[in-house]
Amino acid sequence: MYNTETVQANATLLNQKFVNMLSSGNTKLAEEAGTAFIRSIVRQEAAVRMVLPPQPLQDDEIDRDVDSDEPRKIIEKEPDSSATYVQFDGTPRARWFRGKRYVVYFGKTQSDLFTKSKFKLMTYQNDIRKILADNSVKDLADQEDLYFRRTCLTLINRNAANQRTQVGAFTNAAFVKGFQALDNRRRPIGKMLMTNSLYREAMNLPATLVGESIARKHYEEGIDKEEKLWGIPVITTAKTDIYNPRECFVFSPQNFLGNFFLLQDATLFIEQRADIITFFSYAAPGIGIGNSESMQQIIFDQVPSAS
């Protein structure tokens, strides 16, 4: 879903299929028009939004700076504290407390600026603009995932000995090892993120490991309806060009991890000047990881054999 901004000189000049979709909300017709296209790849919403639910910010929630007019959001972190066990005449040490903070900065994701003469549009039987508009919003989502994964890897690489778990095959034991790494750092386990391709290997889990009923269910229904593994919610993504198909991220819940703010969610801007129609999509997200040890990467070295 996305918002729409329109600078419309004369709606009657626009392609009727597109106008119907944008102006009268007749999405059914537009969808029918769109489905006649041969699709090239599976496009998806951003997986990061399932890990860190985006939170829209209003003007008065943005933090200002005396030297810049760029928006930012300052987040306070939980202060350290401690206790001790003493005899009855013992007294506590004074503690002038302070809490740490980190800053979330923002950027803009944007699609290409799609431009076309309305006369050339007449040669398209399907609403090519609807497809481009829908896909461009998903392309923005790809950028969110790209930056999110890059940031995760940067943080994990700094502490790889603890935050990267190298295992062989997709087995219970492999995941246990990854989960225990988070447990040992006193971080809770919230969600897992992996590609559909890797998740599919759950179908290989034998009855001797997961029980006869689950193995039978996987055999009969596949795993597309499964939303959890070992009780932990799994976010799956088709984006094998962004996420390594041999990796699984385990994240703590959002309040242990970081923030995803939106100055503006994905918006489709459309403009017509004379016979030239232009449109593009943009959004203004900001993602920050305040607790870098609240994530674990599990890498599966053993690629399943074709047999």
Q: Which residues bind other proteins (CB under 8 A)?
A: 65, 68, 70-72, 77, 100-103, 105-108, 112-113, 120, 150-151, 153-155, 157-158, 258, 286, 288-292
Record the tokens describing residue 149, joined without a space.
Answer: 């994964």
Q: Which is nearer to other proteins, 236 or 272 (CB)?
A: 272
Q: Which is nearer to other proteins, 28 or 158 (CB)?
A: 158
Looking at residue 106, its amino acid is F
Nearest-approach distance from CB 257 to other proteins, in angstroms: 10
Q: Which is nearer to other proteins, 27 or 157 (CB)?
A: 157
Coil, strand, or helix at residue 272? strand
Q: Which is nearer to other proteins, 71 or 178 (CB)?
A: 71
Nearest-approach distance from CB 201 to other proteins, in angstroms: 29
Q: Which is nearer to other proteins, 187 or 199 (CB)?
A: 187
Looking at residue 51, its amino acid is V
Nearest-approach distance from CB 307 to other proteins, in angstroms: 38
Nearest-approach distance from CB 42 to other proteins, in angstroms: 24
d(CA 183, CA 185): 5
Cα Rg, the chain, nearest whole Å:
24
Record the tokens describing residue 114, joined without a space.
Answer: 């799609």
The three-point CA angle 184-188-192 to 5° equals 105
Instruction: Residue 103: name the closest of 292, 289, 293 by CA.
Output: 289
Nearest-approach distance from CB 167 to other proteins, in angstroms: 22
| 228-229 and 258-273 beta bridge pairing | unpaired
